[in-house]
Structure 1
Amino acid sequence: MKQTLIAAMLGTVAMATAATACEITLRSSDTHPDGYPTVVAVQKMGELLKERTGDRLCVEVFHSAQLGEEKDTIEQTQFGVIDMNRVSLGPFNNIVEETQIPSLPFIFRSTDHMHKVMDGPVGQQILDAMAGADLVGLAFYDGGSRSFYNSEKPIRSIADMAGMKFRVMQSDIFVDMVAALGANATPMPYGEVYSSIQTGVIDGAENNWPSYESSGHFEVAKYYTLNQHLIVPEILVMSKIAYDKLSAEDQAAVRQAAKDSVPVMRELWTAREAASEAKVRAAGTEIITDIDKTPFIEAMVPVYAKYVTTPKLQKMVEDIQATE
């Protein structure tokens, strides 16, 4: 016990020393656990910054929702309390309307298609739009393809979802998507999902392989339906307040380091997806793959009609569909 305490204290001192070694230490938030691809990618960005600025800039990543859940940390980042933030695009849907388009169900044909879109003009348009929310858009990370999982039964059709309660991110699009499938959406913070499924407050949720595995949700929701209704990117943003305090040279260094962290994240993500899937399958989870996606896609017509309402957003959808 004493040795453990001493080791912990030395670790804290080491972290503090590393942080104070730089003139400016940017505090970055992530809800995912240590070792998760997004966390490691931002840590890599910090290493690049430290090296390229001669120890002038560092990044300290607060993982595992240490600074709060995503909705709260977005507000803190806007106010400059947090310098940087890795968030799914979902919680931004009610803040920056451009983020609604990549959050639409079945908007992307595949992960490769999503990469080409977000690496191109549409992605840049969304990064630029963050300025309207007092944020600086830096880069997009992978969020994987999201599918439904629950504790009650296998889901093979829309009819199987009738009346079931699913947790969704705090996004109106996600709520309307679940409603269009005949189920009930319950927006709640990610950290509350495990206990809510365990106690029957909700029947399940929807997420990608790594989140389903790392959260332990597969332990309490053993039916995973690979309908892949969403391929929502994650975004790395910076507080405009913090960004504006930097010199033009340091601002450019931040942007480049963020961009250079993307291929690192994607490589880690591919490996993590495979490892998570293997772990979930080994645990005896029932994976449902015999599913016709067509009725699910057709059910999204009213969702698109509700959210794709302006020429700007319609053009974004057209540009995404035209991306090869």
Structure 2
Amino acid sequence: MKTKLLFAAVAACFSIQAGAQDITLHGAVQFPDEHVFTRTLVRFQELVSKYSGKKINWVLHKNSELGLEKQYFEYMAQGKAVDYAIVSPAHMSTFSKAAPFIDAPFLFRDLAHWNKVLDADLLKPVADEINQKAEVMLVGYAGGGTRNIFVNKPVKNMVEMKGLKVRVQGAPIWSKTFSAVGMAPTVIAYNEV
């Protein structure tokens, strides 16, 4: 029996085979050593090792060696190849229709608003649905950071954004959001930003 944990919103997933003597866990990340996602997974490994009291062999596959975030979540749900990773909620939509909304740009006003939502456990129904349907458990949340729009000319209001090209990550909610305000989104892979 496998239990999988996911540290999402990007998120880190973790799976342990019950009763196993030697534990080897495989993680996956799209980025090199210095990227914050990779550093977060290394810290995750340190904390799990410290508090589990067990000898764990960690194998962290970097630089998209095992594919992209979408595949990482699929692998975890299938119980193969990846035990923990940082994954965008957009890639959980097969198991939860609400999960991609967590990834919506500009959903939270600021860090205080984000923390208030987490403190109130308002995302628990989404996490419970993912655990029930995918057998992947969210063990934490991390914000994607501040959202900025950079343009080559001054923009003073929303009307002036109409038709502007903007590069967005592959989550459909990003393209839909920027299209809704009249911009022209183009999808690029997150690791190409």
Q: What is the TM-score normalised by the length of structure 2?
A: 0.73
Task: Please give the secondary structure, in 1, of the residue aligned with 2:70.
Answer: helix
Specify the code of the residue in structure 1 equivalent to 2:22.
Answer: E
Amino acid at match of 2:25: L
Residue 55 of structure 1, CA deviation: 4.1
Deviations 1:196-243 (A, max 9, x none): xxxxxxxxxxxxxxxxxxxxxxxxxxxxxxxxxxxxxxxxxxxxxxxx
In the alignment, structure 1 residue 166 sits paired with structure 2 residue 166: yes
Go from structure 1 to structure 2 and tell me whether the alpha carbon gap of 1:97 and 1:57 turns closer, same or farther (over 3 Å shift).
Answer: same
Partner of 2:176: 176
Structure 1 residues 145 and 184, CA gap change in structure 2 (3 angstroms): same
For 1:9, the equivalent position in structure 2 comes to none
| Residue aligning to 1:113 | 113
Aligned to 2:139: 138
List aligned pairs for 1:82-121, cutoff 5 A: 82-93=82-93, 95-121=95-121
Distance 1:185 1:85, change over 3 A: same
1:126 paired with 2:120, answer: no
Paired with 2:192 and 2:144, the residues of 1 have a C-alpha distance of 19
Which consecutive unaligned segments of at least 5 residues does structure 2 have? 1-20
Contact 2:170 2:190 in 1 (8 A): no
Q: Distance in 1 between matches of 2:136 and 2:120?
A: 20
Does residue 44 of the first structure (1) align with residue 43 of the second (2)? yes
- Whether the 8 Å CA contact 1:26–1:57 is kept in 2: the answer is yes
Q: Structure 1 residue 190 and structure 2 residue 190: aligned?
A: yes
Checking the alignment, whether the CA contact within 8 Å between 2:92 and 2:130 is kept in structure 1 is: no
Aligned counterparts, 1:1-324, within 5 A:
23-79=22-78, 80-93=80-93, 95-131=95-131, 132-150=133-151, 152-193=152-193
Q: In structure 2, what is the Cα distance between the partners aligned to 1:188 and 1:153?
A: 22
2:89 partner amino acid: L
Q: Which amino acid aligns with 1:126?
A: V
Give per-residue Cα distances to partners, 1:6-35, cap 9 Å, x unaligned.
xxxxxxxxxxxxxxxx92121112224323
- Distance in 1 of aligned mates of 2:111 and 2:31: 21
The 8 Å contact of residues 127 and 138 in structure 2, kept in 1 or not, is answered as yes
After superposition, the C-alpha distances for 1:41-84 in whole angstroms (9 at most, x for unaligned) are 32122123223344432433333333222223222222222111
Q: Could you tell me whether the CA contact under 8 Å between 1:103 and 1:173 is conserved in 2?
A: yes
- Aligned-pair identity (%): 25
1:156 counterpart letter in structure 2: K
Measured in 1, the distance between the counterparts of 2:178 and 2:166 equals 8
1:124 and 1:100 mapped to 2: Cα distance?
14
Give the C-alpha shift of residue 111 in structure 1: 0.8
Structure 1 residue 140 displacement after superposition: 0.6
Taking the aligned partners of 2:93 and 2:184, their CA distance within structure 1 comes to 19
| Alpha-carbon offset, residue 182 of structure 1 | 0.8
Q: Go from structure 1 to structure 2 and tell me whether the alpha carbon gap of 1:116 and 1:130 turns closer, same or farther (over 3 Å shift).
A: same
Partner Cα distance (2:83, 2:111) in 1 = 29
CA gap 1:148/1:48 in 2 versus in 1, 3 angstroms? same
The answer for unaligned runs of 5 or more in structure 1 is 1-21, 194-324
Higher mean alpha-carbon deviation, 135-144 vs 29-38, is at 29-38
For the aligned residue pairs, the C-alpha RMSD in angstroms reads 2.5
Deviations 1:142-200 (A, max 9, x none): 211211224x334332233322332222222211111111112222322345xxxxxxx
Q: 1:105 to 1:142 in 2, by over 3 A?
A: closer
Q: Which residue of 1 aligns with 2:6?
A: none
- How many residue pairs get aligned? The number is 171
Task: Give the TM-score taking structure 1 as reference length.
Answer: 0.47
DSSP 3-state at the match of 2:150: strand
Tell me the secondary structure at the aligned position of residue 65 of structure 2.
Answer: coil
1:93·1:171 contact (CA, 8 Å) conserved in 2? no
1:39 aligned partner, one-letter code? T
Aligned 8 A contact 2:31 2:191 in 1: no
Equivalent residues of 1:38, 1:141 under 8 A apart: no
Amino acid aligned to 2:62? H
